[in-house]
Amino acid sequence: MFKAKTVMSTNLITVKRQTPVYEAIRTLVDHNVTGLPVVNDDMTVAGIITEKDVLKLLYDTENKSDKVEDFMTKGVVAFNEEDNLVDITECLIKNSFRRVLITSGGKLVGIISRKDIISYILKIRHQDK
């Protein structure tokens, strides 16, 4: 059985709820990522902010808010680092999101994207090619 911790990326780039949203957008662009975990001070998951979430800024003509917490997705799907990679893959197939957060002891420890799983498939299936 392949576990989440086998594939997850642990070099995490995160933001906090109070991070200015334009700082989060700059982080997305500078690091060429499509989503950032939003964490509390104790590294528990508060949400995620994605490219899709910040598209709303085009319509925010009054600029009422400038904090990540006002744009982030709060209902985040997360798995434990010991969870089966097949379950995570099925979740990504059935849903439109591109990544899931990985936790241990309730704290964020990693992230798995569709690309991570695809790279892993290539590695295990075509090692000798």
Can you tell me the distance from the alpha carbon of 21 to that of 65, in angstroms, rounded to the nearest whole number? 8
Counting the structural domains of the chain, the total is 1
Please name the amino acid found at residue 104. S
Residue 59 pLDDT > 80, yes or no? Answer: no
Quickly state the pLDDT bin for 124 (edges 50, 70, 90). Answer: confident
Q: Tens of pLDDT along 27-51?
A: 999 999 999 999 999 999 999 999 9
The DSSP string of 30-71 is HHT-SEEEEE-TTS-EEEEEEHHHHGGGGT-TT----BGGGT
pTM of the entire structure?
Answer: 0.88
15, 68 in Cβ contact below 8 A? yes
Q: Which DSSP string corresponds to 5-16?
A: HHH-B-----B-
Task: Name the band, by pLDDT with cuts 50, 70 and 90, for residue 60.
Answer: low
Domain that holds residue 65: 4-125
What CATH number is attached to the domain comprising 121? 3.10.580.10
H or E segment to which residue 103 belongs: strand 99-104
